[in-house]
Amino acid sequence: MRSYSLFAIFLLCLVLLLVDSLAFYWLQAISYPISSTGFKTFIYSSFWFFTIGLVTAILVLKIRIDSISPQRKHLLISSLYGLTVSSFIPKLIFVIVISVLYFTNYMFSETDSLIIIPLIGVFSGFLPFFVILYAVFKAVYRFKVHRITIKSEKLPKSFVGLQIVQISDLHLGSFNYRYHILKRAIATINHLNPDIIFFTGDLVNNYSWELRGWDQVLKKLSAKIGKYAVLGNHDYGDYSTWESKSAKKENFEAIKNFFATIDFQLLLNQAVLIDKNGEEIAVIGVENWGNPPFKQYGDLEKSLKKVQEVPFKILLSHDPSHWTEEVVGATDIALTLSGHTHGMQAGIRLKNKKWSPIKYKYEHWAGLYRQNHQYLHVNRGLGWLGFPGRLGMRPEITLIELEK
């Protein structure tokens, strides 16, 4: 909430009150058949108690945000965000559906209007409410394994069948030190018995203190050949206000050093060679590179210098925008692995069709993409940020098999 002015937060609260006022108007209309005055009073009182409490909590948090510790701040903001979404969206749908039904009620008889419209109205409000509750309390940690195969004529024979696990966007601060949740994902990953594990950025939300205790959990990730990582936009501390440049640098260094603690090799605009039976592939890792307003720390040209002659290259780059701008068509990198988008933590997938509002911001936002002989895979992330839920966009573990 720090990035929004008090005026913007005030406008948000006005919108919430406006939608709730309209919802209350229609709530009175559809509850007309209820004969019990006491029951109706209870419903109306509960409605406004929640609304006024939510608006008050948002305003108080904004006013007092500077005096709240960073540890509590994230928890409070994400909780209020979840409450706001779970309240606003169902009521907005309820208002739209009821309004349409009432203004087209010539389709129903008077008796039908008294029965059908209230039933449809209640259903239209409660269904999205329960769907959002499911997204927050269940789907947010229902880890899913996505299996894909990458075929390339450049792949050395010794690496055919190589098993790679990609994970991304842990945002450890959002787990609030609930280590047992991520242990389930780690058990799933280890059961896949990968040769290599790649982590494609956003270890934390902002701060190194989010890492407390996670070393004992994450170091249990097992890979036969090695574990490699890059940084994401949230790992630089750019979204916080720091007392000094040295404080920000100290935070950044602690985050970078953490990767060695969990036995990951952090690639900072550099490449490593993986040798097998005298044949090699290159793993390239760049620092975060994104279109504005995201900063561009990545230096792909520098990263490629020592591996230009290696035929099969894998690039780890947090932001998928990088693939379009500097990789595809401009290099011979066979496979790029990214994260960053989370698939907006909300979307729809029907067979081979997928949709999310994030597609209007990112051309490549979830899953596998191919252009000629170059591939990009965008991981949907294991953690969450902002909205504490996932709707049709489950947290992802990607298993990649390389084939010739």
Query: Residue 74: what pLDDT?
Result: 72
Domain boundary residue, one of 82, 112, 137:
137
- 261 and 341 in a single domain? The answer is yes
- 247 and 327 in a single domain? The answer is yes
- 84 and 178 in a single domain? The answer is no
Q: Is 103 inside a domain boundary?
A: yes
CATH number of the domain enclosing 265? 3.60.21.10
Domain boundary residue, one of 83, 103, 137:
137
- 129 and 211 in a single domain? The answer is no
Query: Residue 115: what pLDDT?
Result: 59
What burial class does residue 56 get, using C-beta atoms within 10 Å of its C-beta: 0-12 exposed, 13-18 middle, 19+ buried? exposed
Query: Residue 346: what pLDDT?
Result: 94
Q: Is 281 inside a domain boundary?
A: yes
Gap between the Cα atoms of 238 and 260, Å rounded: 22
Number of compact structural domains in the chain: 2
Query: Residue 29: what pLDDT?
Result: 77
Tens digits of residue pLDDT in 252-291: 999 999 999 999 999 999 999 999 999 999 999 999 999 9
pTM, two decimals, is 0.87
Q: Is 186 inside a domain boundary?
A: yes
Low-confidence ranges of the chain (pLDDT < 70): 1-3, 66, 71, 104-118, 121
Query: Residue 264: what pLDDT?
Result: 98
- DSSP per-residue letters across 380-400: --SS--SSS--BS---EEEEE
Query: Residue 2: what pLDDT?
Result: 46
- 387 and 324 in a single domain? The answer is yes
- 213 and 362 in a single domain? The answer is yes
- 191 and 68 in a single domain? The answer is no
Residue 190: phi and psi, rounded to 5, are: -65, -30
Query: Do 245 and 252 contact (CB within 8 A), yes or no?
Result: no
Q: How many angstroms separate the Cα of 334 from the Cα of each of 43, 158, 267, 297?
A: 60, 17, 18, 22
- 373 and 398 in a single domain? The answer is yes
Query: Do 159 and 404 contact (CB within 8 A), yes or no?
Result: no
Tokens encoding 398: 């990607």
- 240 and 355 in a single domain? The answer is yes
Q: Is 371 inside a domain boundary?
A: yes
Tokens encoding 335: 């496979």
Strand partners, 285: 270, 316
Q: Is 1 inside a domain boundary?
A: no
- The amino acid present at 178, given as its one-letter code, is R
- 249 and 364 in a single domain? The answer is yes
- 129 and 149 in a single domain? The answer is no
Query: Do 146 and 397 contact (CB within 8 A), yes or no?
Result: yes
Q: Is 303 inside a domain boundary?
A: yes
Domain boundary residue, one of 137, 171, 206:
137
Query: Residue 147: what pLDDT?
Result: 98
- 165 and 200 in a single domain? The answer is yes
Q: DSSP character for 312?
A: S
Query: Residue 1: what pLDDT?
Result: 41
Q: Is 391 inside a domain boundary?
A: yes
Q: Structural domain of residue 205, as residue ranges?
A: 143-403
Tally Cβ neighbours within 10 Å of residue 208.
19
Query: Do 344 and 365 contact (CB within 8 A), yes or no?
Result: yes
Q: Is 285 inside a domain boundary?
A: yes
